[in-house]
Amino acid sequence: MDIIRARPEHLELAREAIDQLHGRTPPPDRILRAFLANDSSYMILGVVDGRVVGSLTGYALDQYWSYREFFLYEINVAEEQHNRGIGTRLVQAFADEARLRGAGNVWVLTNRSNVAATRLYAKCGFTPSPASDESMMTLTFAAGRE
Ligand SMILES: CC(C)(COP(=O)(O)OP(=O)(O)OC[C@H]1O[C@@H](n2cnc3c(N)ncnc32)[C@H](O)[C@@H]1OP(=O)(O)O)[C@@H](O)C(=O)NCCC(=O)NCCS
């Protein structure tokens, strides 16, 4: 399996990952190209024989209190490929990039009930936050993108 950081020249693989792994409708090409060209946004793909079998997206965040954090936004591995170490390789590739770019940490939001994800992150060295009262709240705009 090849692990690649998707760049604009990997547009078709990125579309495949979004559609088939992340379960979203791929955005217009110009938006996806801009995402892939942005040095602060990441799509890391696991590719076997030209097909995408795993995908991770995330962001480099330059915070004022820490030079840089990396946020792992989502990771999906094709169901028939689970438990073969693909998720581990994707997370390690993202963490390697974070280290290389001087980040202080990598963080992800997950659910304690998601055993596979929790094991994956633990195996890659992540530690869970203490149980707390925190909740994530979202303000949604109807037409935010254009
Ligand atoms: C979470 C996910 C990405 C893991 O990918 P993967 O390629 O199967 O992960 P790996 O093969 O690298 O396994 C990593 C660890 O998790 C464990 N694991 C994987 N699937 C598991 C499962 N269903 N139940 C229990 N443990 C599991 C593995 O055993 C391994 O630990 P070990 O080496 O100590 O045995 C994959 O299950 C997935 O795509 N899930 C659906 C999407 C999702 O939940 N994403 C995370 C949202 S935060």
Residue nearest to atom 36 of ligand 1 (CA): 77
Lowest-confidence range among 1-5, 20-24, 64-68, 124-128? 64-68
How many angstroms separate the CA atoms of 82 and 53, rounded?
9
Angle, in degrees to the nearest 10, between helices 115-123 and 86-100: 50
At 66-124, the pLDDT tens digits run 789 999 999 999 999 999 999 999 999 999 999 999 999 999 999 999 999 999 999 99
pTM: 0.95
CB contact burial 64-75 (16+ within 10 A = b; e otherwise) = eeeeebbbbeeb
Residue nearest to atom 1 of ligand 1 (CA): 117
Q: Is the pLDDT of residue 146 over 70?
A: no
Q: Is the CB of 78 under 6 A from ligand 1?
A: no
Choosing from 1, 82, 107, 113 the residue with most ligand 1 atoms within 8 A of its CB, the one to mutate for a pocket test is: 82
How many angstroms separate the CA atoms of 104 and 136, rounded?
22
Domains in the chain, ordered, with CATH?
Answer: 2-123 (3.40.630.30)
How many angstroms separate the CA atoms of 15 and 72, rounded?
19
- Is residue 73 a contact partner of residue 24, using CB atoms and an 8 Å limit? no
Instruction: Tell me, in angstroms, the distance from the centre of ligand 1 to residue 108's CA.
Output: 14
Which are the contacts of 36, defined by CB distance < 8 A and separation ≥ 6? Answer: 6, 7, 8, 10, 11, 14, 43
Work out the percent of the chain whose per-residue pLDDT is above 90: 85
Q: Is the pLDDT of residue 145 over 70?
A: no
